[in-house]
Structure 1
Amino acid sequence: MWWSFGLLAVLAPTLLAVHEPPSVTFYNQALAVLGWGLFVAVLAGLPRAGAQGSAGMALRCLSAVLLILAAEALGSAFVWGQLPAGLGMMGSGMSLAALLVLWAGWRSASSQDQDAVLEAFFGALTAAGCVGMVLALVQAFHPAWADGLLIAEPTMPGRAVGNLRQPNHFSTLLVFSCCGAAWLGARQRLPAWVASGLITLFIWGIVLTASRTGMIGMAFLTLWGVLDRRLPRLLRITLVGAPLIYLLFWGGMWLLAHADKNVTFAAEARLHDKSDISSSRFKIWANVLDMIKANPWLGVGYGEFNVAWTLTPFPTRPIAFFDHTHNLPLQWAVEFGIPLTVLLLALCLLALKALFSGLLRDEFDAQGQPTRSTVGACAVIVAIAALHSLLEYPLWYSYFLLPTAFAWGAGLAAQSGTRSEPAAAASGRTSPSMLAGGVIMALLAVWCAADYQAAVNIYAPRAGAGPLDQRIEFGKKMPWWGYQADYADVTSLEDEDPSKPPEAFKRTLHNLLDARLMTAYARSLAEHGQVDKGRYVVQRLKEFRNPLGDEFLSVCKTQPEPGEEPPFQCEPPQQSYTWKQLLP
């Protein structure tokens, strides 16, 4: 039973290659929430375990973080902010789902059935790595087989992306899989040589992703191997030697690519391109620091980074339309302010310390190898997720957030010494709150997916879908994805058509303000009596040096006839505005 639900929660979301606009990863994420909701509902049958000691305190710290994040999301949407209701519900729902899964991980590792439950979790991670490697080999060596239906198409020649479609995401998944295989080997669910072979295979996959984050993740595997002296000898050697294995595969792929011109080695190609982190992330981080200085106490509000950054003057900004700071502490600081961010980080650091301390205490050996291996595997999972969160935003994706939360809870419980009593286990009492929470998670995932179909029908209409304006009007009524219909409503007009009023932009501006939306909004402001604000938006658009913006400004290259007013976008604004003053 545990295996079935573990595979649904962990493996299944990594298999979906099919996607429909407007979101590339929505189906993967919805399936993860559905699977984890059902898994949690089943785990509710485990006996309750108290949260005592330093590990229990760490669990409460993480719970507080997730509750604060949920409150911020709901408040930004329904109380003090203008965030669309759908985005607020998604943000708060993800935080509350992570809270539920965190406690499910604690309960699992505290129960008499911990071996079976954790075997299902780590086994599912291992299975995800095995299937992912099949996808990776196709994408790297025979990309013509990647049809986009069963196997996602690679983003660049020779680079493995799995069915998560992002190499860094796939790399993090493979590090998770290394932890799963190592746990199975440490607990003798797999022979040590099989577990070591799987870890080696997954490291090859990490090389094929050309991910720098995955490369650094090898150090975490080494640290686990060094600190855990009770691991089987071959398995420990494999973990300690992870960086060397990585280098050997890197060198082998380099030789193969130079020997066979039909083979492309993406990691080598990245050495010669201009994808250095400083080309974009350092610029966005500099902008974010300026925004934090301007809003140090309360920030710009949950989910408001993109619109605030886009409508704030930054002449040297990166030209991509960032919807995230690509750094979790900076994201919190710019949206929540410094005081709350300090509190959140302090709580997270306390929880990290409690998790990792289990690998540093000599007396921990007395508890036996099974517990130590669980702490090690969970610590590496949390560590790679934390590292990745300093460079991107993996925890905004349910297929990373929820396994990380489960691992954190299980790792804390494994070293807490707390165990449910056999009598409690025999009583078979189910936790009503956890059961209800899991069922609600699953139902909300289904509801959100059903709601999503209205947005899909706008951007990729099915047979008999009806006229665009009818599809848009229907989509605007949807509670989860209505803001996507708003985007289509205001950006699908012809140049000669009158613009929608600024109020029509009220929701969609808070999702992702891109070049198409900026030109439409600038026109709307100008045509509805707010010409100077429209010009100010155009000034911000110029900073992105986007082809759509250049096309919008191309009329300014032609001199107007005598006595004719130039188009509004050809004149500079007469005053400055804050980003909030520019909102409808």
Structure 2
Amino acid sequence: MENHRMNPFLAQSTLVRNVIVVLCVAMPWLNPFASSPSTAVIPLLVSWMMAACALLAVVDLPLAKPRWSAVEVVVCGALVVWLGALLIWAPQVVDRALTLGLLASLVCVWLMAAVGRRAAVDESLLRWLVAGLLAAAVVSAVLGVLQYLGLARELSPWVNQPLKGDAFANLRQRNQFASLTSLGLVALLGWVAARAKAQNMTSRCWALAFALLNLLAAGVACSVSRTGAVQWVLVGVLMAAWGWRSAKQDATFGKGLVWLALATPVLVAVWSVVMPWLALQTTGEWGASMILRVTGQAQDYAACGGRRVLWANVLALIAQHPWLGWGWGETDYAHFMTGYSSLRFCDMLDNAHDFPLHLALEFGVPFAVVVMALVGFWVLRRSPWREQQPWRVMAWGLVLVVGLHSSLEYPLWYGPFQMTLGLAIGLLWAPTDSPTQVEAQEGPMLMAALLFLGCLYAAWDFNRVGQIYRQAASRDAAYRDNPLHHAKQSWLFKNQADFAELTTQTVTADNAAAIYPQARRLMHYSPEARVVQRVIDSGTLLGHDKEAQELAERLEDVKQNTPR
């Protein structure tokens, strides 16, 4: 009798837990808020806090037991020590916020991998996680369509407002938005495959799947992202191939998944024609076309802003410091200080736009080679081409989307992609026949709690520093009188506070001695003209004529290679 009374309570608590998990997965993608001076901080903090909450919600569940060999433990431990040494000794100036942010990102991936390991043995939990990702992609696709058609203005501030004709939902960058639609595509096809495998695909399910597929296709068409186009073609073709093989091995599987997957690139092409015409009806102007961008008939950047120029510059930078790299967060400084024999990338460069290249640039070629070799070993050991289970195939699809994007940009510098990668790693970590275990909860709970509390502190400190970037009427009452004094007390965001102070000062003989070291240090944070000019001016007043002359020449070279 008591057990019967407990069942409704257990069912209700499970439902609450699953809803929390859905919100934790979806919210980082849908968060519309960012703030000066660093617009990436608030979205990152939201993602890290949601990752902590997701693990805390499922920490008591059993998980797939990993198979760690002694060699693997030693190699991973050595890699962590190596990374720590490079973070401390390689950069000329250690950026505290960037360094702790990298560590928090790694913890975020680890926390979501722990969630994924639990979902790997609990299909009910996994379905809710997939629902959260799919919901975020579908909602974002709707928002992207509204932005593209000029119909999202009334939704501010809950929806970001792009330039006319752009679409990126609340991700502030269209390639990220396109990758989210690709992740949604993977989640949708994974759901269809799982239901088809269990013979649970009804006509209503097929209709729903086709409707959602069209929404996602319209969204990626509005992004006009070539990265998104490639992702959709790859995911569609590979999923169709897997579905065809599964149908040959099991006649009950059917070929519905094959046709749905093959329809994905076709639908993208169709919506790439339809959406510009719809934009003409709502805005009076033809919308941007993905087809024109993919075929090279429409370009956004000058010749010096392309990836070929960027990667050529990155290779030149790597050649200067091949062993230990330039140091974490030093890419923009390295780019400014280097004169190239070839065409110069004509913008500030803070990332190599390719994950292996960026590792080599900031941590050295040996570290990059070891990391990528371990990644390759991890993938090959799991033989993704032999997968039979739909959910594991879906997880490989998530890895494919993030990996492809990481070869062209830097999605892993953003929290939602860190969470997605961690989840996929957790789902794939243990073989399908691995035993389950109930892990001691203290360690994961401590890690999640520390990350959550650390994010709360960072949010408070960031808000304190951000006051100096606001109008007086918009500042918090506690900081209104002397915001710079409060901001200068920050330990974590010291660079942002010093940058605001430096750029509001005029160099004189009286303050040159104080400005000179501050400006030199801030060149490693943001080597833009107004910072460099203050190094030149203060250095000249202090008698550092040679350095001032060299920096003046570098600044002139950068200006000449930057389109007006």
TM-score, normalising length: structure 2: 0.84
CA distance in structure 1 between the partners assigned to 2:128 and 2:76 by the alignment: 27
Please tell me the residue identity of whatever aligns with 1:419.
Answer: P
Contact 2:149 2:283 in 1 (8 A): no
**Number of the residue aligned with 1:239:** 261
Cα deviation code 1:50-99 (max 9, x no counterpart): 212xxx67x969x9679846863675247875212222111122123212
Contact in 2 for aligned 1:14/1:163 (Cα 8 Å): yes
Q: Which moved more, 1:475-484 or 1:186-195?
A: 186-195
In the TM superposition, residue 498 of structure 1 has moved relative to its aligned partner by: 4.2
Q: Write the deviation string for residues 92-146 of structure 1: whole angstroms up to 9, x where unpaired.
A: 221232123223322431x3xx212211211001110121122112101124626
What is the rounded CA distance, in whole Å, between the counterparts of 2:381 and 2:53 in structure 1? 29
Q: Is the 8 A contact 2:140 2:170 kept in 1?
A: yes
Aligned residue type for 1:379: W
**2:142·2:219 contact (CA, 8 Å) conserved in 1?**
no
Cross-structure match for 1:577: none
Counterpart for residue 186 of structure 1: 193
1:251 is matched with 273
Structure 2 CA distance, aligned partners of 1:101 and 1:277?
40
Whole-angstrom distance in 2 between the partners of 1:437 and 1:527? 50
Q: Which residue number corresponds to residue 552 of structure 2?
A: 538
Is 1:417 the counterpart of 2:433 in the alignment? yes
The change in CA–CA distance for 1:5 and 1:147 in structure 2 (over 3 A counts) is: closer
Letter in 2 for 1:285: W
Q: 1:437 aligns with which of 447, 451, 455?
A: 447
Change in 2 beyond 3 A, CA 1:469/1:493 = farther
Partner of 1:525: 539
* Structure 2 residue corresponding to 1:310, chosen from 333, 336, 354: 336
Tell me the CA shift for residue 322 of structure 1. 1.0
SS in 2 for 1:193: helix
Alignment match, 2:138: 130
Cα pair distance change 1:495/1:37, threshold 3 Å:
same
Superposition deviation, residue 34 in structure 1: 0.5
Q: Does 1:159 align with 2:166?
A: yes
Partner of 2:101: 90
> Cα deviations across residues 339-398 of structure 1 (Å, max 9, x unaligned)?
11111110111223345x23x22xx54xxxxxx111221111111111111111000111
Counterparts of 2:154 and 2:358 in 1: how far apart (Å)? 35
Amino acid at match of 1:476: K
Q: Are residues 491 and 547 of structure 1, via their aligned partners in 2, closer, same or farther at CA, if it must alter by over 3 Å?
A: farther
CA 177–545 in structure 1, closer or farther in 2 if over 3 Å, else same: same
Paired residue type of 2:483: R
Between the aligned partners of 2:263 and 2:312, the Cα distance in structure 1 is 37
Match for 2:394 among 372, 377, 383? 377
Kept in 1, the 8 Å contact 2:305–2:346? The answer is: no
Work out whether 1:204 is the aligned partner of 2:218.
yes
**Residue of structure 2 in register with 1:565 after alignment:** none
User: What's the counterpart of residue 65 of structure 2?
Assistant: 50
Is the 2:304–2:345 contact (alpha carbons within 8 Å) kept by the matching residues of 1?
no
Residue 345 of structure 1 corresponds to 372
**CA distance 1:439–1:65, shift in 2 (3 Å):** same
Contact 1:7 1:124 in 2 (8 A): yes
Q: TM-score, normalised by structure 1?
A: 0.82
1:220: how far off? 2.1
1:295 aligns with 2:321: yes
Residue number in structure 2 paired with 1:564:
none
Check whether the contact 2:395–2:424 (CA below 8 A) recurs between aligned residues. yes
Q: Quote the sequence identity (%).
A: 23
Query: Does residue 266 of structure 2 align to residue 266 of structure 1?
Result: no
Go from structure 1 to structure 2 and tell me whether the alpha carbon gap of 1:146 and 1:540 turns closer, same or farther (over 3 Å shift): farther
Retained in 1: the 8 A contact 2:519–2:534? no
Aligned mates of 2:283, 2:169 — CA distance in 1: 23
- Report what 1:447 is aligned to: 457
Q: Would you say 1:478 and 2:490 are equivalent positions?
A: yes
Does residue 481 of structure 2 align to residue 459 of structure 1?
A: no
**Which whole-Å CA distance do the structure 2 matches of 1:276 and 1:313 have between them?**
19
Q: Does residue 121 of structure 2 align to residue 145 of structure 1?
A: no
In structure 2, the residue corresponding to 1:87 is in which secondary structure?
A: helix
| Change in 2 beyond 3 A, CA 1:80/1:200 | closer
CA contact (8 A) 2:309 2:345 kept: yes
SS at match of 1:478: coil
CA RMSD of aligned residues (A): 3.2
Equivalent-residue separation in structure 1 for 2:286 and 2:84 (angstroms): 44
- Aligned mates of 2:90, 2:307 — CA distance in 1: 32
Q: Which amino acid aligns with 2:125?
A: V
Number of residue pairs aligned between Structure 1 and Structure 2? 525
* CA deviation profile, 1:137-157 (whole Å, cap 9, x unmatched): 2101124626641111123x3
Correspondence for 1:487 among 487, 495, 499: 499
- Any stretches of 5+ residues in structure 1 without a counterpart? 366-371, 551-584
Contact 2:48 2:415 in 1 (8 A): yes
What is aligned with 2:184?
A: 177
Task: Output the CA distance in 1 between the equivalents of 2:491 and 2:77.
Answer: 23
1:192, distance to aligned residue in structure 2 (A)? 3.1
Check the 8 A contact 1:225/1:236 in 2, yes or no: yes
**C-alpha separation in 2, matches of 1:84 and 1:210:** 35
